[in-house]
Structures are given as C-alpha cells and as structure tokens.
Structure 1
Amino acid sequence: MNFRLLTLILLFTSVFFISNGQDASALSCVEVGSPQEALEEYSGAVYGEVIQIRVDLKQEGFTGSKEKIRYILVDVERSWKTEVDSQIILATDYTWGFDFKEGNKYLIYISEVAGELSSSPCSSTIEMNNLNQATELFGEGFRPKQQVNLEHKMWFMFEQDIDLYIVVAIVIVAISFFFMRASKKKG
C-alpha cells in the first residue's frame, strides 16, 4: 500500500516538473537614430550609477511559463522627459538586456510597462563616466523628485524556482506523515 502511494506521489511530482516547457524567442530591433530621436521613442531617460543587480524568476500562475528578469537598482542623478525619484528599479530582459555592471554609470532610456519601469533590450543604453556628457546631449533635465532608498525591495527577488522547494517540502511532509502513521499501526 505505502509503496503504491509513494509511487503515485513521485509520478505526479515528476509530471509536474517535466511539463514546464521553455519558450524560445528571437530579438529584432529597429535602428532609432540619434540620442535625441531615441528619447522621443521612450518615456524618458535617466543618468545614474547602478547600485545593485538582481535576477528574479517570474511565473504565470503555479505551472505557467517561467521568465528570468534582471532588475537594476539605479541611483539617479538626472532624468529627462520624466521626473523620477533618487533611486529606481528597472526591469530588463535577462537574455537580451544590456550587460550592466555594478558601480558603473549609464544613460538609460526607460519605458513604463504595467506600472513597472523597464529598459528595452533595443534601447541605446550608453555607459558614461560623468553627467556632463548627458547634459550636452539633452540639456539640464530634472533632478530627482525625492530621496528614497529602494534597496530593501531588491531583497525579495530570487533566481531560484521557489515553487520547486514548496512542492518538495509538501512531498516530504506527506511521506513523513504516512511513515509515522504506518509505524503507529504496527506498534
């Protein structure tokens, strides 16, 4: 009886993990032109230092498709076309997104998608050492609206699939329960 139950549990959990297929996609970008033309295409641009980079695993529902998203915490010095706070978190594509490095400063074109700021893999992100380069392109721009600290929001981003750990924990608890129950019946 216990062997059949264990086999059934293993069968269902293995089907659950095998059934999650991965989607493949290609990237095709259109040339935008000058930095000023690029600014017209996006919601705005920011200049600042990358403070932290985290990868988070997003999933539609419990068994939906999984997608890794790279989140970039930027300490903003200046923005153009839109006002932002002193720190922002940008979402960028894990596979195709720009290869940001912590501690470096960038001019990043941003868009707002579903209430989340993002940097398109097709945008012309530029590594810049000083603010003067950016102000020469776009003018003075906006200083940050308010001083904020968003580092705590980066703590809750996990690259691992937490669902896997939840299912494994449930299976272990179920197996332990059945073994304890079987040992009580024998004793």
Structure 2
Amino acid sequence: MSRFRIKSLYMLLIFAVAIGLLATAPERAHACSCAMNADVKTSLENHNAVFEGTVTAKKEPTALFFSSSADPVTYTFKVNEVWKGKVAPSITVTSAWSSASCGFEFKEGSRYLVYARDNGKTLEVSLCSRTAAYSSASGDLAELGTGSTPPQPPYSPDSQGGFIWWIIAAAAALFAGAGAIAVYRRKSARRF
C-alpha cells in the first residue's frame, strides 16, 4: 500500500472518530429551580387552561443524535372538568422530558389537576405550576369550586359514534326489507 493511501486512511479514521465523539458528547446539565408556587387564585389567573383529566397517551421525543431533558413529551388527556380555557374533551399538553428541566412527568392512566400555559404552539405544563395528582389536589379543588364539563363536539355522521348509528340503521333497513320480501312471498304462495 502506498504512503498516500495509508495517510488517507488515517485521516479518514481520525475524521470518523471526531464525528463519533461529537455525536455522543454530553449535554450541559440543567437543574430545575422553581420559585414558590403562587396561590390557587393567582395560578388560575396566570395560566391559560386549568382542567382535571386522566392521561390516556404519552408520546416521547425521538432524537437521532442528541437528546435533552428539555425535549418535549406530549401527553393526551381525557378531560372531566374545566375551570379555565378552551379545553376540549380530549386535549394534548407538552412538558419537558425530565424534572431536571422542570418537566412534569405524568403517568398514563392517572388523574391530574393541570395548570397549563399557551406557549404559542401548544399548552405547556411545568413542574413549577400547581399541577398535581388528583389525589393530592383536594385543597386546590375545594378552592376552585365546581368547574364545567368540556364542550362536546357537534354531532357528525363521520364521527365514530355516527358511523355506528349508520351501520345500525342500514342493518335495520335490511332486516325490514328481508321481512317484507318474506311476507310478500308467503302471500304469493297462498294464492296459488
């Protein structure tokens, strides 16, 4: 092998190692530091949405090379009660992936009282808000009083519930038609 080829291979190896080191370099650590939580009234005023619901889905971020504790995780909630905001029966919020970056780590299937802010793209929940497990939020719930139920979406035949009614109606029509044909044949058979 020529000296030029050997040098080229060494340079290529050094370049590959350097790229590998850059791809696996640790990120700067961040620690969450929250000021004291505001009282319920102030928190209600300072957040865009306040609701109670159950986590039905969780979507974690996917990163090719770098990941951060601040990467957003998306949580979907089935909403039961609303105190503030335009909150649908099913809503998504985001929070940082880890509590190290002030992310609130929700558990699927668990119920929460959620205080969320609109960041322009989505509703965002922080560990520094009054968000809490429903079982730990009795003081907030008492102070908030009775909320409202989320508005139901308008009826649409294209919705899943509407689709089922269309199937039931079609089946009933088929049975009625089959019954009418059977009755007609019996009457026709008696004539002859």
Structure (1 or 2) with the greater strand fraction: 1
State how far apart, in whole Å, the 2-side matches of 1:5 and 1:141 are: 70
Q: Quote how far apart the aligned CAs of 1:58 are.
A: 5.9
- Cα gap change, 1:19 to 1:43, in 2 (>3 Å): same
The count of corresponding residues between Structure 1 and Structure 2 is 145
Question: Which one of the candidate residues 85, 88, 91 is aligned to 2:88?
Answer: 85
Structure (1 or 2) with the greater helix fraction: 2
Query: So what's the TM-score if we normalise by structure 2?
Result: 0.59
Question: Which one of the candidate residues 19, 31, 36 is aligned to 2:36?
Answer: 31
Question: Which one of the candidate residues 69, 73, 85 is aligned to 2:72?
Answer: 69
Q: Which runs of 5+ in 2 are unaligned?
A: 155-192
Is residue 118 from structure 1 mapped to residue 120 from structure 2 by the alignment? no
CA contact (8 A) 2:97 2:105 kept: no
Structure with the larger RCO, 1 or 2 (CA within 8 Å, 6+ apart): 1
CA contact (8 A) 1:44 1:81 kept: yes
Secondary structure of residue in 1 paired with 2:82: strand
CA contact (8 A) 1:35 1:137 kept: yes
- Cα gap change, 1:10 to 1:88, in 2 (>3 Å): farther
Q: Which has the larger radius of gyration?
A: 2
What is the percent sequence identity of the aligned residues? 25
State how far apart, in whole Å, the 1-side matches of 2:85 and 2:21 are: 45
Q: Which residue of 1 aligns with 2:112?
A: 106
Q: Quote how far apart the aligned CAs of 1:74 are.
A: 0.8
Q: Which runs of 5+ in 1 are unaligned?
A: 149-187
Q: Which residue of 2 aligns with 1:49?
A: 54
CA contact (8 A) 1:87 1:147 kept: no
CA contact (8 A) 1:53 1:73 kept: yes
Query: So what's the TM-score if we normalise by structure 1?
Result: 0.61
Aligned-pair Cα RMSD in Å: 3.5
State how far apart, in whole Å, the 2-side matches of 1:45 and 1:147 are: 19
Q: Quote how far apart the aligned CAs of 1:111 are.
A: 0.6
